[in-house]
Amino acid sequence: MVETRGNSFFDYKGVKIPLMLFERHLMYSCLKNKGIWNVRAEVKSSLNVNQITSDNPEIVNKESYYHCTKCDKTKYPDTYIKVGKDCKNEGNDFSWYKFNCYEGMSTYDNYEKRYLKAANIHKECALMSTSWGLGQIIGANFRNKFKTVEEMEFSIFNGGDAFQLLIMSEYIKANRNLVEAINDKDWSEVANIYNGPLSQDNNYEEKLKNAYNEINK
């Protein structure tokens, strides 16, 4: 309910694709460090990551995507800010917005304009840098159930809703602290572990609590 509103797939040119979200900062880390979170990727040493980053800032970047909103046109025309920040102090021009923020990009566009381009640069890193399916499990966590991220890709593309839930449950069970937080209904800790320290920016804790209460009626 919180991650994908219960949706598992979307249609891309007549093909069912798992709900996904590509993360450019993870792609950068994967290429630069030859892996993510101590999970190794086959990246050639000859790969010029700095040049790739310079040529493809929207696909490979040290910074994550920022949720942004447009400022008051009467005061700050053509200026965008990070959500929750003060427009006057955090104003940035459109070029900064274009390469550092995203606003309402559809899953379809995210797949076509980001993931597929990233996969053309390095397929393994693109898979590892993307959140997949109902639980939005990042590909770099494939070792909870699979030998390779490509095995995870095949299964999550072809296994249906039940298999996506299985992958989500395997991810949760592999983290004892997360299991304890869920059992304790400590939604703040669940949000912090599952969605990261930036979860506070989108009220993730409250969304989890509300979803649980709705289901538990």
Q: Has residue 2 been placed in a domain?
A: no
What does pTM read for this prediction?
A: 0.86
pLDDT at residue 91, rounded to an integer: 56
pLDDT at residue 106, rounded to an integer: 84
pLDDT at residue 152, rounded to an integer: 94
3-state SS string over the chain?
CCCCCCCCEEEECCEEEECEEECHHHHHHHHHHCEECCEECCCCCCCCHHHHHHHCCCCCCCCCCEEEEECCCCCCCCCEEECCCCHHHHCECHHHHHHHEECCCCHHHHHHHHHHHHHHHCHHHHHHCEEECCCCEEHHHHHHCCCCHHHHHHHHHHCHHHHHHHHHHHHHHCCHHHHHHHHCCCHHHHHHHHHCHHHHHHCHHHHHHHHHHHHCC
Q: Has residue 160 been placed in a domain?
A: yes
Give the span between the Cα atoms of 8 and 31, in whole angstroms.
28
- Side-chain-side CA neighbours of residue 47 (13 Å): 17
pLDDT at residue 128, rounded to an integer: 97
Q: How many CB atoms lie within 10 A of CB 60?
A: 28
**Positions of the chain with pLDDT under 70:** 73, 75-78, 83-100, 102-104, 198-199, 201
pLDDT at residue 120, rounded to an integer: 97
Q: Has residue 82 been placed in a domain?
A: no
What's the pLDDT tens digit per position in 47-104? 999 999 999 998 999 988 877 777 776 766 667 777 666 666 555 666 666 666 766 5
Domain count of the fold of the chain = 1
pLDDT at residue 48, rounded to an integer: 96
Q: Has residue 1 been placed in a domain?
A: no
The two structure tokens encoding residue 104: 């309402």
Q: Has residue 25 been placed in a domain?
A: yes
Q: Has residue 109 been placed in a domain?
A: yes
pLDDT at residue 169, rounded to an integer: 94
Domain that holds residue 154: 9-62+105-174
Give the span between the Cα atoms of 94 and 47, in whole angstroms.
31
Buried-state track 143-157, b at ≥16 Cβ within 10 A, e below 16: ebbbeebeebbebbb
Q: Has residue 123 been placed in a domain?
A: yes
- Residue 217 burial class via C-beta count within 10 angstroms: exposed 0-12, middle 13-18, buried 19 and up: exposed
Q: Has residue 34 been placed in a domain?
A: yes
